[in-house]
A and B are shown apart, each in its own frame.
Chain A
Amino acid sequence: GGSNETGGDRSQDAGSNGDAEKKSYDLNMSVTVGNSSTWFIAAEQLAEDVAAATDGRIQISVFPNEQLSGGDSGAGVEQVMNGTTDMSYHSTIIYSIMDERLGVLSAPFLFADLEDTDVALAGEGGEAIKDIIRENGVETLGFGQNGFRQLTNSKQPVQGPEDLQNLKVRIPGISMYTDLWREFGADPTTMTFSEVFTALQQGTIDGQENPIDVIHSSQLAEVQKYITMWNYSYDPLILGINKDLFDSMSAEDQEILRNAAADANAYQIQMARDKEAEQIAELKEAGMEFYEPTDAELEAFRQAIEPIYEKYENVWGADLLNSFR
């Protein structure tokens, strides 16, 4: 069979003799979530900026809800790697399906707070991540933010590992999370996200974990009373472009894309953080009880999952892990 080194919806030459500088592009960009999300809004801004900077020569069409990949985000990332989709915002959790080393970013209690993540991703660790993603055929045009994953449940305020015993929690269908939640002593379960609200409402499951944005937009406050703000796992976004496509572009076009991407990422992160403060206020108003664990309590959680680090250090790579510690 042929290889997928190029592809996608692109490159109708602007009439002239294939001069790289004048090449036109019609790019498809995929976003996992809906068109009111910060991801989509930032992607649209990226599209506008790039079109403006190139006099419409580079067009980016943004598609929400994994419309380009049959609703499957794993396939969505794979398509960017193969070049059948040109660009995307995907969370690193999804990327870790394709390359397990990338699971390091989701490592439990790796980052204390958002400043911590900003520093780490801008540094040596961030560069190492970009290298891994590049090996998979995608050029990273910077990081956005899906956010820290927080725990909600309907049973009781979760203040320590003992409160997690036998709690039925919906988690992402990724082995690291299953192992992690087993270590906590909970009863982790995977489930299509579209079924989570009903399952929580009817008591099929007790809780779930997601960034505030997701908890808010899925209106989980209606079915969940307690939320634990423990920042247990961070989820950055990767603004990626197919590497072969990117490499084939002129230096000038690459620069335009990089600059616009930096702006879009900054905008997305700013929006996400501003929004999160508002969303927390609204969730409180809707009757959710927030609990912020103390340092001692966080330490107890961390102790409980220590075996995860032993087990996954080899998977992630010790060097990579240390670059974030």
Chain B
Amino acid sequence: MTAILLFGLFFLLVFLNVPVAISLGLASITILFLDNGMNSLGLLPSVMYATISSFTLLAIPFFILAGVIMEYAGISKRLIDFANVCVGHRKNGIVLVTVITALFFAAISGSGPATVAAIGAILIPALVKNGYPKNVAAGLIASSGSIGIIIPPSIAFIVFAVVANDLVPITISRLFIAGIIPGLLLAVALVVAAMFVKKTNVSSDFKSADSEVAATLNVGKISSGKEIASAFYKAIWGLLIPIIILGGIYGGIFTPTEAAAVAVFYALMVGLFIYRDLKPKHLPNILIDASVQTAVVMLIVGAASIFSYIITTKRIAQTISEAMLAITENKILILLMVTIILLIIGAFIDAISAFYLLVPILLPIMLHIGVDPTTFGVFMTVNLAIGLFTPPVGLNLYVASGIARIPLKDITRGTIPFLIASIIVLLLITYIPALSNWLPDLLGM
């Protein structure tokens, strides 16, 4: 009963256009109030404060800040140039450039929309110029951006580890490594899906304003060794970031949180002194932008912690797990059921909320049927990464539609081939644990 009221109220508020964070918080305190009266609401600030003031979650603002700095520092432009001289001349070269750049950027950014923002402005016009319909171009960018939370570093993995740690020990470092192969698989799938797209007549969809941006990208031309070397040299400072982050974490030099802070200062140095696109006067705006992005995530984390307090104390997790296990104990069916539930939930709410809502409920079921927690973390994250580009609520979609200047409903159709490809990869990851476990096991994580 409490469960129905809690979830019912939450979705009612969400549908009214109340921000997700506040819907989570208000649904929760309503339950607290109905059960125990005013005085129990003292929990609200206490639990929120305790949850937000976490050293582990501190990686989130730093990875976000590093991402914003890199946008200002011109790192993404150089990564795109490098990918272009390497593979731009091939058949469907521009798709390869897009996905490879997304992979590069995913390895330095922890967030999906940040990845979209960083690569979309240049690559959407370039894709259109090369004959891809505008909605397909935007769809490819939105779905490529999802790789951002699967390839480490990843805000999603950090939050999953924090939430899951209540039930089973799991480290951020292991999840980071476990995301690499699934992230690469997703990239391959997106490239394959793009090959099935029918190209249009270039001129029809291509506006002159876009051509200036796209003109800087000479897709289709075979580059000389010298050009490749030069582009590599320019991009090297960006390409070093993942090596510093991952090398630093796995080499025992710093914790994931510290790695994020190091990435901030590294990107700052590159932007200020090497690329010089970044000026000290940009710093206040960079810090403010990063703060707002952080606050949006952390307000959800704080409010969701009250929500999971109720899920825990009202034993809602147990009730739902028991109900689910009563339907079937078949591992394959349960995984399928969970996948479908996650795809639906992921369409409506963001990944961070979904972790707080669903990990306490789903993880015990997974442990019960013998699913490895790392595999679960990865497939849940991939699932919610798909949610980033499915309507009605999909952050990547919003960012991509803003950049491409086309309405959300038009983009949606353009994402369909990539959605299908991603779901196939999702099923592979769900049913083949080795895809997530093999690499961390190999490295002894």
Interface residues of A (CB under 8 A from B): 2, 4-10, 28, 61, 63, 65, 67-72, 74-75, 78-79, 82-84, 191-192, 194-195, 197-199, 201-204
Contact = CB atoms under 8 A, between A and B. Distances in A.
From A67, A197, A201, residue with most partner B Cβ within 10 Å: A67
Interface of B: 35-40, 42-43, 46-51, 53-56, 162, 165-166, 169, 171, 173, 250-255, 305, 309, 312-313
Contacts of A195: 56, 255
A101 B173 CA distance: 39
B42 A199 contact: no
A199 B257 CA distance: 13
A70 B255 contact: no
Given A192-B56, A198-B171, A203-B252, A69 B38 contact: no
Given A70-B48, A201-B252, A8 B36 contact: yes
B166 A69 contact: no
22 contacts: A2-B39, A4-B39, A4-B42, A6-B39, A7-B42, A8-B39, A68-B309, A69-B47, A70-B309, A71-B54, A71-B162, A72-B50, A79-B43, A83-B39, A84-B46, A192-B55, A194-B165, A194-B171, A202-B253, A203-B252, A204-B252, A204-B253
Contacts of B313: 9, 28, 61, 63, 68
B252 to A, nearest CB: 2
B256 to A, nearest CB: 8
Nearest to A67: B312
A75 B49 contact: yes
Contact of A70 (B37, B38, B50, B169): B50
A94 to B, nearest CB: 12
B252 A70 contact: no
From B43, B169, B253, B313, residue with most partner A Cβ within 10 Å: B43
A70 B47 contact: yes
A6 B36 CA distance: 10
A46 to B, nearest CB: 18
Given A70-B47, A75-B47, A75-B49, A204 B255 contact: yes
B254 A204 contact: yes
A8 B40 contact: yes
Given A2-B39, A71-B51, A78-B46, A199 B312 contact: no
B132 to A, nearest CB: 44
Contacts of A67: 166, 309, 312
A203 B171 CA distance: 17
A5 B42 CA distance: 11
Contacts of B162: 71
B173 to A, nearest CB: 6
Nearest to B166: A65
Given A7-B39, A61-B313, A199 B54 contact: no
A203 B255 CA distance: 12
A69 B35 contact: no
B46 A82 contact: yes
